[in-house]
């Protein structure tokens, strides 16, 4: 899925996303990566990683950065990205993260529409693309749902979701 995502960036921006990412940044309890499946085939993915104050002046202690959100072209428009995003927000909140933050791009209107319709609002630029004219930055407060027991992901948790439609 990551190779498909990088190809999408090459088409839309002329190059790959060069943000350094270590897969261990998505290990519980300070992160999670999910893959959505339909009939046994991966159709989408996304992850969150803990980002705390001090790493970047615009980030706060308790932030969860959403990364590598992607849905395969043949499966777009069916709500998979929204389901993956909701799961990332739920698990980040359960892990004690207080705000979801992300960077998207001006050549990704579908992503920007998803984030805005999901309650994300513009925030100051951060990270590798802070000075890029093609980058947009969004944030959303996270809250553990009241009245429902939730738990943070633990090391060894299955890092995938299954979506049947």
Q: Taking 60 as the threshold, does the pLDDT of residue 155 lie above it?
A: no
- Report whether 52 contacts 61 (CB < 8 A): yes
Q: Taking 70 as the threshold, does the pLDDT of residue 149 lie above it?
A: no
Q: What is the mean pLDDT of residues 50-70?
A: 92
| pLDDT, mean over the chain | 88
pLDDT at 145: 52
pLDDT at 143: 87
**Alpha-carbon gap, residue 109 to 74, rounded angstroms:** 17
pTM: 0.85
Q: Taking 80 as the threshold, does the pLDDT of residue 150 lie above it?
A: no
Residue by residue, DSSP assigns 61-129 as TTEEEEEEEEE-GGGTTSSHHHHHHHHHHHHHHHTT--EEEEEEETT-HHHHHHHHHTT-EE----STT
């Amino acid at each position: 899925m990551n190779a498909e995502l990088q190809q999408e960036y090459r088409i839309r921006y002329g190059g790959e996303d060069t943000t350094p990412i270590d897969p261990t940044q998505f290990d519980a309890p300070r992160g999670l990566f999910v893959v959505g499946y339909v009939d046994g085939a991966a159709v989408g993915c996304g992850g969150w990683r803990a980002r705390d104050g001090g790493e970047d002046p615009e980030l706060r202690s308790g932030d969860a950065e959403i990364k590598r959100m992607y849905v395969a072209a043949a499966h777009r428009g069916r709500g998979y990205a929204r389901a993956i995003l909701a799961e990332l927000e739920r698990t980040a909140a359960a892990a004690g993260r207080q705000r979801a933050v992300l960077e998207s791009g001006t050549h990704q209107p579908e992503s920007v529409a998803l984030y805005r319709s999901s309650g994300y609002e513009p925030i100051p630029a951060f990270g590798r693309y802070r000075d890029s004219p093609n980058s947009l930055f969004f944030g959303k407060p996270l809250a553990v749902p009241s009245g429902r027991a939730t738990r943070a992901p633990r090391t060894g948790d299955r890092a995938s979701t299954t979506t049947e439609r």
